[in-house]
Amino acid sequence: LSDKLSGILDRLTRRGALTAGDVDAAAREVRRALLEADVALDVVRGFIDKLKERAVGVEVIKSVTPGQMVVKIVHDQLIETLGATADPIDLNAPSPVPILMVGLQGSGKTTTSAKIARRLTDLHKRKVLMASLDTRRPAAMEQLAVLGQQVGVETLPIVPGQTPVQIARRALDAGRLGGYDVVVLDTAGRTTLDEAMMAEVAEVKQAAQPHEVLLVADALTGQDAVNLARSFNERVGLTGIVLTRVDGDGRGGAALSMRAVTGKPIKLMGVGEKLDALEEFHPARIADRILGMGDIVSLVEKAAATIDAEKARRTAERLRKGQFNLDDLREQLEQMLKMGGLGGMMSMLPGIARMKNQIAAANVDDRIIKRQIAIIHSMTPKERRTPDLLKASRKKRIAAGSGTKVEEINRLLKMHRQMADMMKQMGSGKRGPMAGLANA
């Protein structure tokens, strides 16, 4: 998608303020990216409306296209919407602070309970007790006990035959008596949203009055994420969301959906099966994933700098493949101007030092570089890609358009041919002098 998107966006290369047309064109692609990332349709709609409102009229940073500029705004808006919490778990309540973990079966509730308990113990030096209210699966309570041992956190002794509410009450009593700071209550989930699960969780909540109610949800959840989050929020009431399996290769659209429909913060994210694989929520990471185009975003971020690193990288890529058209030459010439002439250019592009003679022979100075750039500007995109098209009549047109002479155009074309030949030679070597260009 990234390639497809940047391809479309690259065509919009005018400078100035973003127009409604620019934003619409980019918004169509952004909409597709969001839907591909499994962001819910309603959420996508609201997001795009807001984007249009804020993007039109924004000044485009030099050296990026309007499309890329829109992407940067989209990225910022995503991060903003996803939000970050300074203080993931709120413990600002009388001890023991009850934390209720809810979610579908297999979402990672039990694992996350142990991860959070570990975090509170190690990082915040709290005394934590965990209790499993999962009376449905026989092995569930054992699972939590085993994880508790692994992280050095105590679990409530198992008493067969108790209801979830009874276990919750017993856990809080034990927490009070044992001088615990926090009691983590791990509930049973079902494979699908159903009334029985909701009723049970609501009942437990009523009994335990938890200070935090955390919805544990798999980052790979698709369009169901909205229903999931909305149902739990309406029926039980959430204080936050923990996103699990962020280490997987899902696009993470669920995060945006859940955040948008509940308004509740995503507090933490699980990034692996290991019990220390829990991190504070990084909205930028999820935003990159949803868009699937961190490269363009960082390009826009770097664009304020003199050198457009991404362009250089792309150019270098083409150069290495032995492609060097007049657009590339113009880019090189523009960079030479920006960098204050040949000296700076040499230091940036290791391979280009070998072209010193060609450039010197062409008698390049700032004034000439500017005329050369003007010549290339007067060509059509097709001519720039295929200089062989440039016969006499076209040259005349270009000379008139750029206020230059046909001889100058010929000199430029000759320089280009020599450079292109050299690029090809250098590019054909596996690790030739141009290899370093990619990192320039």
x-marked contacts with ligand GDP along 234-253 as a string, rule CB under 6 A: ----------xx-x------
Q: Is 155 in the site for ligand GDP (CB under 6 A)?
A: no
d(CA 361, CA 188): 78
Count Cβ atoms below 10 Å from residue 255 Cβ, excluding itself. 32
What does the block give as tokens for 56?
Answer: 């039109």
Please report, as residue ranges, which positions from 188 to 217 form the binding site for ligand GDP (by CB under 6 A). Answer: 189
Q: Is 325 in the site for Mg ion (CB under 5 A)?
A: no
The radius of gyration of the chain's CA atoms, rounded to the nearest angstrom, is: 30
214: left (phi over 0), alpha (psi -120 to 50) or beta: beta
Do strands 154-155 and 128-132 pair parallel, antiparallel, or not at all (unpaired)? parallel
Q: Is 110 in the site for Mg ion (CB under 5 A)?
A: yes
Residue at shortest CB range from ligand GDP: 270
In the complex, the smallest distance separating the C-beta of residue 234 from ligand GDP, rounded to whole angstroms, is 21
Q: Is 110 in the site for ligand GDP (CB under 6 A)?
A: yes
Task: Single out the residue of 105, 166, 227, 231 in contact with ligand GDP (rule: CB under 6 A).
Answer: 105
d(CA 433, CA 426): 6
Q: Which does 111 bind (CB under 5 to 8 A by kind): Mg ion, ligand GDP, none?
A: ligand GDP
Q: Which residues sit in the known binding site for GTP? A: 103-110, 186-190, 244-247
d(CA 236, CA 232): 5
Q: Is 268 in the site for ligand GDP (CB under 6 A)?
A: no
The answer to whether the beta carbons of residues 270 and 277 sit under 8 Å apart is yes
d(CA 97, CA 211): 6
| Of 131, 139, 197, 199, the residue nearest 169 (C-alpha) | 131
In the complex, the smallest distance separating the C-beta of residue 286 from ligand GDP, rounded to whole angstroms, is 14
Q: Which is nearer to Mg ion, 63 or 110 (CB)?
A: 110
Count Cβ atoms below 10 Å from residue 174 Cβ, excluding itself. 17
Task: Single out the residue of 66, 148, 270, 427 in contact with ligand GDP (rule: CB under 6 A).
Answer: 270
x-marked contacts with ligand GDP along 164-193 as a string, rule CB under 6 A: -------------------------x----
Task: Give strand pairing partners of 155.
Answer: 130
Residues that bind ligand GDP (CB under 6 A): 103, 105-111, 189, 244-245, 247, 270-273, 277
Residues that bind Mg ion (CB under 5 A): 109-110
